[in-house]
Amino acid sequence: MKFMSKIGESILQGATEALEYAKGNKRSAKTHKVYVPKHVDVRAIREKLHMTRGEFADCYGFALRTLEKWEQGVRQPEGAARAYLCVIAHSPKTVESALRKSEE
């Protein structure tokens, strides 16, 4: 009889919880809420990284025009973009590394 590794057990437990959640059994599943701020200062993040708008847009996959509109206050980033910007602000090198690996 083979024994599962701790990681395997964790993955199986997560899959079981996801299945129960999908079936409507919300009590047995562990859920986690995340905080995504309603406003993100895109310019401050970019300037902290000492990048031009073009460099920031190219490095993290944003359209330059979208970045300009965010910084000028014409538009605000939507939820997923705000979350992504928070991750960039917190750990820019990790994001850059992950994006580079996806090119390989």
Is the pLDDT reported for residue 1 higher than 50?
Answer: no
Instruction: Give this prediction's pTM.
Output: 0.68
pLDDT digit string (tens) for 13-54?
A: 878 877 877 787 777 666 678 889 999 999 999 999 999 999
Secondary structure (DSSP) of 9-76 = HHHHHHHHHHHHHHTT--TTS--------S---HHHHHHHTT--HHHHHHHHT--HHHHHHHHHTS--
The domain covering 42-103 belongs, at the CATH homologous superfamily level, to lambda repressor-like DNA-binding domains (1.10.260.40)
Bin 58: left if φ > 0, else alpha if -120 < ψ < 50, else beta: alpha
- What are the sequence ranges of the domains in the chain? 1-31, 42-103
Rounded to an integer, the average pLDDT of 92-100 is 92
What pLDDT, on a 0 to 100 scale, did the predictor assign at position 29?
Answer: 62
